[in-house]
Chains A and B, each alone.
Chain A
Amino acid sequence: MTKVTVAEEWLNACAGCEIAILNVGDVLVDLLVNNLDFVHIPVLIDKKYFGQTGEEKELSIPEAVVGIVSGGVRNEEHKEVLLEMRKKCQILIALGTCATDGGIPALINMYSDEDLKQFYYKDSPTTDPADYPTEHIPPLLDRCYALDEFVKVDLSLPGCPPHPDWIAGAILALLDGKTEFKMPERSVCDACPTVRESKKGIEDIKRLYEAAEYDPEKPLNEMRCLLEQGLLCLGPVTGVGCGGTKGAPRCISARVPCRGCYGPIRKGAKPLVDYMGALASVGFDPNKMLDRRGYLARFSGAHGVLKKIG
């Protein structure tokens, strides 16, 4: 079998997606040796943008069949690298919720860059106040964007990080010559084994420092739904998949509520509106919800979903 060439990049990212690739496990060595030929991946390989001795003037990434990009787009360099990846790769994969929906770093879209820099470079309790840096660093864009706001994305694998099952599934599908690989469009609740009694009666939403009621010796399918217990769980409006192709939702396995890290159930869904309905269905007054935007767009602030305050 001929090897498939792969280029990988990370933009406004944390490296969690790259570690998730490594968590594909023991098959990784075989894939690396027999199936994949990484021509560019900064976390593992020393390929340079401006030539190996840094003298070329134009940023360049080698051609590859598959391009994988994690992270959102927050500054001019991210944008330039993304456009170059699109140009050089036949199939572009958006890996992780930062790439598909902005992820956690898109929470910054609620604030102005002036406020951010004012605290970071002037007001912080340990900082000697100074002018903002501007030399040799890429300027920030006006907000944090998802990849598809700039380029065509062929395959989206959300998750913070994506479960290795989906990464392996996508890679194996591509190796098999397929270019179609879709995540299911269902909610976390559809994969959650906890017990729903569908009774109304929640008066107060509990905060995260309050514990769920459960017997640790008993499995998840004997624990009552956390939302019905009054814990704010974003399962109803979050895409399924964090437990991989078979497992239970991972936060629920740790007996804590979902916070939405797989992003909306489908493109264009409106978690904020839908969640108000979910809360009303268990009898809670949604107007009492604390930090509503901070919960409901925690992982999906790109696409203009989160706008600046004031």
Chain B
Amino acid sequence: MGKTLNIAPITRIEGHASVAIHLDDSGNVSDAKMHVLSLRGFEQFVLGRPVEEVPRIVPRICGICPWHHHLASNKAADACLGVELPPTGRKLRELCQMMAYIPDKILHFYFLAAPDFVLGPDADYSVRNVVGIVGANPELAKKVVHMRYKGQMLLEKFAGKVIHPIAGVVGGFSKPLLEDERKEILAGIQELKDFCVFTIKFAREEVFPKYLDAVKILGVFPSGYLGTVRPSDGALELYDGELRMMDKDGNFDQFTYPEYVDHIGEHTEPWSYLKFPYAKKHGALKLDENDPVGVYRANCLARINVCDKMATPLAQEELDIFRKEFGRPTHLTLLYHWARLIELVQACEKAEELLNDPEITGREHRAKNIQPRAGDGVGCVEAPRGTLIHHYKTDDNGLVTMANLIVGTTHNNAPMNLSVKQAAKALIKDGKYDQGILNRVEMAIRAYDP
């Protein structure tokens, strides 16, 4: 009789999930699944709340990327109430979006993903973590902790709260940016930019080359991709634009936020609380790693695949290097880590650009004379882990009557499952497995969602 390996919890990710690997009588993988174990019910418990309060509730979907939920929710609420933002309010929100990206990506790369690369996937679990990184390279570790903290505190000092933010309000932003604050944040962002440029160079030259073999075999399968682009030129967008759904060969559809319902369907499997979004164009979802149907991926590699170019110069130089080596689209799952750092450079450059825009310190930071009304609004932003779709409907009093949420990790539910299955089948043969092999299976998940 075969047996089941129950890998629980999946570690160094955000969220509650486990992997079950089923082995047949000869010890080969017959199936492998990722089970998402929790259902909190945000779509239900925002019902009946004033829509302008929802951006203060939904950040608790994720404490690692609360700003992105806060901002997507504000956009959806603006749309329900028919509010136009003054340019300064819009730019302050975009600045926060960029500033929230920077510490998140530093955290992801160094704390969650890097132990597999720096200490090696076979290192014992007790040292294969951030403490192990401190032991292996104390100076770099101190710098990493300091830079992540600095990024967080710059945002907290300006916007009041960095985890579960409050400063985005329907109609704009709750406070203006003063000139002294602007100068202080700009100096901090320039220091962070230097560190992030160092990080991508360090990763490109000293970390990834050692693991190119793993990159080429772990979790690899062809799929579609979802991301946001700037409508004028197809550049990679992290805050506001149009959605692009690409197929595995690189053909794509581009559409506005409210049109998401025409392009994305959601399927349920009996063994996971989390639904499985799929590309509606293909009519159905087939979770077969050799011949997947309807499967698309979100998050940084998806954005790097769907965009025509980067929006800023240093990030563009990095994309040129990446594309020359891997082409477009590339389906190599572990390249998420590389794509993540290219975006990190764009987030730094974009924050700098916004801080140098004279309108950022304007005093018209929020719209006036907002009234409750019946409405239907879709708000999206790109969160580090993928496109956030917040869709609300309101009654005449501006109270929520419907909320549909498709968030970053959800988009990647089907591809994470396929990556797990593909990795398990490639690595476990004839009953031979150990901690290092099973950790490699988890690496296929960590690429998407630490």
Contact = CB atoms under 8 A, between A and B. Distances in A.
Interface of A: 10, 12-20, 22-23, 25-26, 28-29, 32-33, 38, 42-50, 52-55, 74-75, 77-78, 103-105, 107-108, 110-111, 115-116, 119-121, 124-128, 130-138, 140, 160-161, 207-211, 216-217, 242, 250-256, 259, 261, 290-291, 294-295, 298
Interface string B178-203: 10000000000000000000000000
B50 A77 contact: no
Interface residues of B, number: 110
Interface string B241-273: 000000000000000000011001111111111
Contact of A137 (B40, B61, B272, B406): B272
A38 B270 contact: no
Contact of B35 (A53, A110, A136, A208): A136
Contacts of A136: 20, 33, 35, 271-272
B270 A49 contact: no
Contacts of A103: 60
Listed from nearest, the 5 A-B pairs whose CB atoms lie closest are A16-B63, A254-B160, A130-B268, A107-B45, A46-B125
A52 B273 contact: no
Given A43-B14, A45-B11, A133-B270, A29 B175 contact: no
A55 B5 contact: yes
Contacts of A13: 63
29 contacts: A13-B63, A15-B14, A16-B163, A17-B63, A22-B111, A42-B9, A43-B12, A44-B12, A46-B11, A46-B439, A46-B442, A53-B438, A54-B438, A75-B37, A119-B43, A126-B261, A126-B277, A126-B406, A128-B265, A137-B37, A137-B272, A207-B50, A209-B81, A216-B178, A242-B161, A251-B161, A254-B166, A254-B167, A291-B48
A16 B366 contact: no
Interface in B90-147: 107, 111-112, 125-126, 128-131, 134-135, 138, 141-142, 145-146
A133 B276 CA distance: 12
Contact of B269 (A12, A104, A133): A133
A interface secondary structure, majority: loop
Given A29-B134, A33-B134, A256-B167, A16 B66 contact: yes
B111 A290 contact: no
Contacts of B272: 133, 136-137
Q: Which of B13, B166, B167 has the most CB of A within 10 A?
A: B166
Nearest to B54: A208
Given A120-B44, A208-B56, A298-B57, A261 B164 contact: yes
A79 to B, nearest CB: 13
A74 B52 contact: no
Given A53-B438, A119-B44, A254-B167, 10 more contacts: A42-B10, A52-B125, A125-B391, A127-B265, A130-B267, A132-B268, A133-B272, A210-B370, A211-B368, A291-B48
Interface string B138-178: 10011001101100110000011111101101110011101
Contacts of B162: 23
Given A14-B60, A33-B131, A209 B5 contact: no
Contacts of A15: 14-15, 62-64
A66 B109 CA distance: 28
Contact of B63 (A18, A52, A108): A18
B287 interface: no
A125 B48 contact: no
A116 B44 contact: yes
B5 A14 contact: no
A128 B267 contact: yes
Nearest to A30: B142
Contacts of A75: 37-39
A48 B19 CA distance: 11
Contacts of B268: 121, 127-128, 130-133
B407 to A, nearest CB: 12
B62 A14 contact: yes
B366 to A, nearest CB: 6
B49 interface: yes
Nearest to B405: A124
A22 B128 CA distance: 18
A289 B149 CA distance: 40
